[in-house]
Amino acid sequence: MNLHDKTILVTGAGGGIGREIVLGLLEKNAKVIAVDLREESLQEVVRLAGDKGKDISVYAVNIADKKAVEALPAKVGKIDGIMNVAGIIQPFVRVNDLDYDAIERVMSVNFFGTLYMVKTFLPGLLKQPEAYIVNVSSMGGFLPVPGQSVYGASKAAVKLLTEGLYAELQDTSVHVSVVFPGATATNITENSGLKAPATGSSDKKAKGFPMLSPKEAANIIIRGMEKNQVQIFTGKDSKMMNLLYRVNPVFATNLIAKQMKSLLPK
């Protein structure tokens, strides 16, 4: 897709990868509908955009609220694409120790929030000469990560939803991409209302993994969108683990389990 003069709606626009996507789209001379839970975060994006801030419209919306999402089209008007970036993680605990409130919150934001956005905007996108849906899954959406099992399940649901949409929409004007971010230096832990797990000396290798900046990840996603890539992997770790999991899923699972062991409660 040529993003020049296109209007793209971005969820999770207030920080991390979402914020950098907004700024990156503006550099492509696109107009942006920025959606986030926090009004103050959206205003910070407008400030960071400088002179290009005039091309951003902001809406503080909880995407887990179906009625609030369904009210958006009347407010934002015609758009050319949606990018579902918003997401939260779960507490770093095993499923056995995870309460149902946390489970429902993760599924509501990550899966149902994405589904509400797709279901709400797809009818309008189908009327456009060219349109786009980008859904952000996770490396944890194709590879089990102990301590993030429900988060992974929510992102696996996003993965299969998006791949299903791609199959269903092949004969339409709507392009579809699913994104698998690797390790990225964002504030997703704090934005999920959580404290980062304590790490010991045995976690030095895990902490030594190269992490992409949100801007680097955003640039990869935008380039993938411009090329109509169905699958977009950000980071060498995401690409490598995708290949490893396909070749030897048991080995890949045990490798990640070993690396995550020090982050989980004893």
**Structural domains in the chain plus CATH codes:** 7-263 (3.40.50.720)
Q: Are 85 and 41 in contact (CB under 8 A)?
A: no
Query: If phi over 0 gives left and psi between -120 and 50 gives alpha, with beta otherwise, what is residue 157?
Result: alpha
pLDDT at residue 188, rounded to an integer: 63
pLDDT at residue 190, rounded to an integer: 62
> Which residue, 165, 96, 100, 107, is CA-closest to 134?
165
pLDDT at residue 204, rounded to an integer: 40
d(CA 46, CA 98): 37
Below-50 pLDDT ranges, the chain: 199-208
| Burial (Cβ within 10 Å: 0-12, 13-18, ≥19) of residue 262 | middle
| Collapsed DSSP state (helix, strand, coil) of residue 211 | coil
pLDDT digits (tens, 9 = 90+) for 50-63: 999 999 999 999 99
Residue 151 among the catalytic residues: yes
Global confidence as pTM? 0.91
Options 59, 116, 132, 151, the catalytic residue: 151
pLDDT at residue 249, rounded to an integer: 95
pLDDT digits (tens, 9 = 90+) for 93-136: 999 999 999 999 999 999 999 999 999 999 999 999 999 999 99
Q: What strand order describes the sheet that includes 31-36?
A: 56-60, 31-36, 7-11, 81-84, 131-136, 174-181, 231-234
